[in-house]
Amino acid sequence: MTSVVERLQGESPKFSVEFLPPRDAEDEKILWKAVRELEGLDPAFVSITYGAGGSRRDRTIRATGRIAQETTLLPVAHLTAVDHSVAELRNVIGWYAAIGVRNVLALRGDPPGDPMGEWVAHPDGLNYADELVRLVRELGDFCVGVAAFPYGHPRSADLDTDLKFLLRKLNAGADYAVAQLFHAPEPFLRMRDRVAAAGCSAAILPGIMPMLSPRGLSKIVELSGADLPLDVSRRLEPYADDVAGFRATGIDIATEMCQRLLDEGVPALHFYTMNRSKATKEVLGRLGLVARA
């Protein structure tokens, strides 16, 4: 199986997509519709998030395995340290290897139920993502990615501290990083340039999620950890009660930001799809990265 790093090579810009593990049979159908619709566009990789616990985790492993075995796509399995002993983590990593998955996104994760609640490591587990990077690396020939936060991780005291820990993960053996959502290119580009200035050549992929509705927008703001820039909120304001206008403007804003990121030389755009393909296809089509959808 190829690695993410191999898929990112070459001059032409690429894209990748992220899916969530399905919650039930209906969700599974929605996921697979999106998988099949995006498969033909040849993404560099598809990543599947790791659920907060129990059955959701099994579904991550199952969906990742199905993608590995039944599609032409390159799956990246997310894995978190939440509520796992090191022995359990070894077991999951072994499962991934057994189903042919060689690309892992290594994350610390958040306390279940309350992402900003007190982090309590499993008594036989890990505390930070850099430890998981080392563990995955130790266990085999994996290509490992990590998370990056253009506005700083919400638990980080400041951007300098945040950068220090991002570099620690990359120096622990991670091959690339995928960024949390953001709404303006500058914070992402500053972070990328600071990583490069520190002598680290790992690719940092921007995380993109077009703002398609006021509800989606609130989620994006919450996840990014930063308020919308004034120019963006001014563009969206007139469409608060106009579903089609809001969506069209959200797609415009995402396309413009992606174009700027491509002009700045990012190797790939990573789309948070929420298991839908339409908005990703529209943005990619308008950027000319795939035949216009």
Q: Which residues are catalytic?
A: 18
Smallest distance from the beta carbon of 16 to ligand FAD, in angstroms?
A: 10
Q: Kindly state whether residue 165 participates in binding ligand FAD, applying the rule CB under 6 A.
A: yes
Residue that the structure tokens 């199905």 belong to: 66
Distance of alpha carbon 38 from alpha carbon 62, whole angstroms: 19
- C-beta of 291: minimal distance to ligand FAD in Å? 27
**Nearest residue (CB) to ligand FAD, 167 versus 247:** 167
Q: Which is nearer to ligand FAD, 214 or 225 (CB)?
A: 225
* 62: contact with ligand FAD by CB under 6 A: no
* DSSP secondary structure of 245-263: HHHHHHHHHHHHHHHHHHH
CB of 252 to ligand FAD, least distance (A): 24
270 and 206 Cβ atoms separated by less than 8 Å: yes
The angle subtended at Cα 83 by Cα 216 and Cα 130, nearest 5°, is 80
Q: Which is nearer to ligand FAD, 110 or 252 (CB)?
A: 110
Q: Min. distance of Cβ 233 from ligand FAD in angstroms?
A: 23
Closest to ligand FAD by CB, 154 or 285: 154
125 binds ligand FAD (CB under 6 A): no
For position 183 contacting ligand FAD by CB under 6 A, the verdict is no
- Window 76-105: residues binding ligand FAD (CB under 6 A): 78, 80, 105
122 touching ligand FAD, by CB under 6 A:
no
Residue with tokens 């039944």, as numbered in its chain: 70
Based on CB atoms, which residue is closest to ligand FAD, 105 or 217? 105
Strands 14-19 and 46-48: parallel
Q: Point out which residues pair with 144 in neighbouring strands.
A: 104
| Side chain identity at residue 84, one-letter code | H
What 21-25 contacts at long range (C-beta under 8 Å, 24+ apart), as own/partner pairs, is 21/48, 21/49, 21/50, 21/51, 21/56, 21/57, 21/59, 21/60, 21/62, 21/63, 22/59, 22/63, 22/275, 23/56, 23/59
**Secondary structure string (H, E, C) spanning 200-235:** CCCEEEEEECCCCCHHHHHHHHHHHCCCCCHHHHHH
Among 34, 104, 129, 136, binds ligand FAD (CB under 6 A): 129
- Using CB under 6 A as the binding rule, the residues of this chain from 226 to 285 that contact ligand FAD are none
- The HSE-up count of residue 273 (CA atoms within 13 Å, CB side) is 31
Smallest separation, CB 104 to ligand FAD (Å): 11
Count of residues in the chain: 293
Q: What angle separates helix 185-197 from helix 243-263, to the nearest 10 degrees?
A: 20
Site for ligand FAD contains 49 (CB under 6 A): yes
Q: Which of 137, 169, 183, 281 binds ligand FAD (CB under 6 A)?
A: 169
Per CB under 6 A, does 107 bind ligand FAD?
A: yes
Interacting stretch for ligand FAD, rule CB under 6 A, among 31-39, 49-57, 94-102, 210-218?
49-57
Taking the least distance from each CB to ligand FAD, the nearer of 192 and 247 is 192
Pairing of strands 103-107, 143-148: parallel
Smallest separation, CB 197 to ligand FAD (Å): 19
- The footprint of ligand FAD (CB under 6 A) covers 49-50, 52, 78, 80, 105, 107-110, 128-130, 147, 153, 155-156, 162, 165, 168-169, 178, 180, 207
